[in-house]
A and B are shown apart, each in its own frame.
Chain A
């Protein structure tokens, strides 16, 4: 999870468009300033949907999509948006993309849509999306805003996938609904798929990130 900026996206913006800052933005979003493990934002959905790896992946994809698209649009309109109504404008833009994704799930992956319940719709209120629009997209050109949105979405998705992996594996002995630990000998720990398991897993993850990060920074100094 540390410094692996996916090269595909890094190549897309090349030189010029985002001033070569691409890698740095990605690094910040995924690790250095990870929205969940460092800023402790968006925790509600990270706790609620991570009882299965599949749900975590879909939720992560949803956030990457919404965050990138809303950042793009907010950034494009940043000079046309009057300052006093910018918040309402941001919410309207975010809500649009959330609804797009929600309808997409309902149309093509109905089962998944049902199992995620209200949490896709609740991305509208996710502090990460709103936070990035407000803190980044409003002041930066569109390309960089998109990269920032993707980076933060990736950071969120990475945490969800890690938590979902361990909760599904320990809590039901499966991964992506395929039995990994056979119930001939493995007794699943049911707490991991309930709420306390989510808090524990997230707590351990944040503790681990906080243990590694200062050491890393000391090394680079």
Chain B
């Protein structure tokens, strides 16, 4: 470790003001921060002491995602590694470009986007499409709005939405059949040459209903990280308990989805599958725990969070069952993201009015 520190200290002057590589300073800072706490000290007041900074926050999400990553490796093989590397490289390049041009720091937020993005893609997707998607997501979903903290949409979902609309054929034809046995596909690197299959939600439209146990343990195909409900719940509950993910958003989405699903299932059982099945199928759980809870793109007020969650839960169920799309979670969260600022505004106004009446 001392060796690395020595190298960092030796090259530091090149990146400081007046150094040869001054424009590349964000890259140096990011490298240094990745290995060590930054050496810079805050010079002026106010000094706030708080254990939770953006970096810690993002690290927590990465830990929460770990079970899903492990499940993805087990079911879909070493190709996941390639997808994650490509996602970090392509998205990181866009991020770095903007950081250098804007002379800002490279933000830790991308660590999460870059990992979540391959997890919400079909596991057999060609790598160049992964790269195009993540680059588009970071550019249009985040950087043109001003970077981390100013983005109205979840960048990973913007990237996925772009791919779903732009390459629908490729997207729906690259769902690899998951591996099984003690090692799964852990020793294999398989792309589309392995058998592919329609996702459970797509098959359900043709009347083929996957067993609930398979959905729970992940023995179905789907986007890489969304198939194993058990892994999502373990990682998601960890995030909720550490308060990185807000419990209101998660509870609101699952609650509204369940209530609406129950009502519609009993009203029209032919059109709507049982709600328990729907809860475990597709990206609902993954989206509810890891994507809708993004602190930047969800509302700040508690009232706003409830309304936002209800919109997402209800929209997902309706899109799944009443439209040509088989999965609605992505569109639902993007819709929720659009509504978030308005919901916050309404929540604040209602609060103000109540205070005025009381006062």
Contact = CB atoms under 8 A, between A and B. Distances in A.
A190 B167 contact: yes
A192 B167 CA distance: 10
Nearest to A190: B166
Nearest to B165: A191
B167 A187 contact: yes
Interface string B149-167: 0000000000000100111
Q: How large is the interface on B (under 10, 10 to 19, 20 to 34, 35 or more residues)?
A: under 10
A196 B170 contact: no
A199 to B, nearest CB: 11
Interface in B139-189: 140, 144, 162, 165-168, 170
B350 to A, nearest CB: 33
A189 B167 contact: yes
Interface residues of A, number: 9
A87 B73 CA distance: 68
A118 to B, nearest CB: 25
A202 B220 CA distance: 41
A207 interface: yes
A157 B101 CA distance: 32
B168 A190 contact: yes
B166 A192 contact: yes
Nearest to A195: B165
Contacts of A207: 144
B165 A190 contact: yes
Contacts of A43: none
B82 to A, nearest CB: 19
Nearest to A196: B165
Interface string A188-218: 0111101010001000000100000000000
B140 A200 contact: yes
Interface in A148-192: 187, 189-192
Contacts of A200: 140
Nearest to A194: B165
B140 A187 contact: no
A191 B166 contact: yes
A194 B170 CA distance: 17
A187 B169 CA distance: 10
Interface in B97-155: 129, 140, 144
Contacts of B170: 187
Interface of A: 187, 189-192, 194, 196, 200, 207
- In the A-B complex, the 7 residue pairs with the closest CB atoms: A191-B166, A189-B166, A191-B165, A190-B166, A196-B165, A187-B167, A187-B170
17 contacts: A187-B129, A187-B167, A187-B170, A189-B166, A189-B167, A190-B165, A190-B166, A190-B167, A190-B168, A191-B162, A191-B165, A191-B166, A192-B166, A194-B165, A196-B165, A200-B140, A207-B144
